[in-house]
Amino acid sequence: MAYKVGFVGSGGISNRYARIFSEHDELELISCCDVVKDKANILADHYNMNPYTNYQEMINKEHLDIVYIGVPPVVHSEVVSYAINKKLKIIAEKPIAYTIDVGKKMTKEAKSSNVVTCINLMIVYSNHVQKIKKMYKNYEFGSLRRVELVLRFPIWPREWQNVSWLKTSEQGGPLREVGTHFFASLKESGLYENSIIIMYGDHYGISENHNVAMGEYLGREITPFESAQLQRVPLFIHIPESGVGEVNHTLAGQIDLKPTIENLVGIESGNAIQFGQDIFSEDNDNFVILRDGRFITEDIVYAGETCWDKETGEAIDSEICLPYSERANEELAHSDEIIYGDLLRFYDAENGRLKEEDTTESVDVE
């Protein structure tokens, strides 16, 4: 017996899976739907399906067993709920929803209905992920300490997607759209429960090259103060099953990640030379220095050679910033000396002392 399949959404992803489903002996493609009539017609013509522009009409008219849902996440809940009420098996694209509360509601509804549902996280079952899973279980990596994933998209949506709705903030952007595969792979590989997961934006927020555009968007002039504030990026730290959740407004820089992670996993920093601070430490003084000499405290921002009140955004007496400027310049100078002078080669991290100079002379013997 072949399961009869209907598609809600007839865009690029549905086209891809229509091809895959059509090659499966136990699946029969019956119908497809899209609010854009031409998309539904093109997909229907290619696989000899019945086209619709209303998913409810399609579900009510066709005798379907499975519905594949490939629509924007913001309308997932509506379509999934309707399909559950019709007792259809559901394959839905990720992410499941656009907010946690909506996702929880959908999950509860699916569990109580006993309807078979799944989220399409196909990368979990790809050959390379399965290979990594096998290698991890066989300890071929040795003692795994860190997995790093870098997501960079020069263009979003990607060229092949060609849909405007992906640009909107309610759809979650590349992290929610693509990053979900990473979390699913962690769980599939057995790493998730034993991992601290850290996510943060790139080194800087919004480049000064976009000041004119940002001024138009925000409706105000982008002063050096505003530009410094636009460098803020989100930082998420997730410890599975920790039961701890809060929003922390502590000031931090990328240089603070190392000591923070060391504290979270119980690693003593010992004699390591580092300039960062543990974000969660009571001794953290909320002082962040940018590489170009700008700095931020709880109360002031120094940018464009001007001292700014952080609350009002107004320029204030430069003398207020002077003590912080001296500290910022000193720390940047020390950092540059260590990095550009390659001074760590003279430091013995085991005992916290300078290495003894090697006085052994080399003699040529003929």
- For residue 202, the surrounding DSSP H or E stretch is none
Domain ranges of the chain: 3-120, 208-224+247-356
pLDDT at 329: 95
Confidence of residue 256 (pLDDT cuts 50, 70, 90): very high
No. of helices (H) and no. of strands (E), the chain = 11, 15
Confidence of residue 1 (pLDDT cuts 50, 70, 90): confident
Q: Map residue 239 onto helix, strand or coil.
A: coil
- Give 315's strand partners: 308
Of 31 and 192, the one with more pLDDT: 31
pLDDT at 357: 62
pLDDT at 227: 92
Average pLDDT over residues 5-32: 93
Average pLDDT over residues 72-85: 91
Q: Percent of the chain beyond pLDDT 90?
A: 46
* Cα(350)–Cα(253) distance, integer angstroms: 27
Average pLDDT over residues 30-54: 96
342: alpha, beta or left? (left if phi > 0; alpha if psi -120 to 50): left
Average pLDDT over residues 300-306: 95
Query: Which residues lie closer than 8 Å to 136 by C-beta, 6 or more apart?
Result: 144, 189, 190, 191
Average pLDDT over residues 127-131: 81
Mean residue pLDDT of the chain comes to 87
pLDDT over 90 (residue 90): yes
pLDDT at 243: 79
Q: Map residue 91 onto helix, strand or coil.
A: strand
pLDDT over 70 (residue 70): yes
* Cα(190)–Cα(127) distance, integer angstroms: 17
**What is the residue whose two structure tokens read 């992670």?**
261
Contact between residue 292 and residue 298 where contact means Cβ atoms under 8 Å apart: no
CATH-assigned architecture of domain 3-120: 3-Layer(aba) Sandwich (3.40)
173: alpha, beta or left? (left if phi > 0; alpha if psi -120 to 50): left
CATH-assigned architecture of domain 208-224+247-356: 2-Layer Sandwich (3.30)
Of 256 and 364, the one with more pLDDT: 256
pTM, two decimal places: 0.69
Confidence of residue 266 (pLDDT cuts 50, 70, 90): confident
Measured CA distances, 87 to 2, 80, 113, 123, 339 (Å)? 17, 10, 8, 27, 63
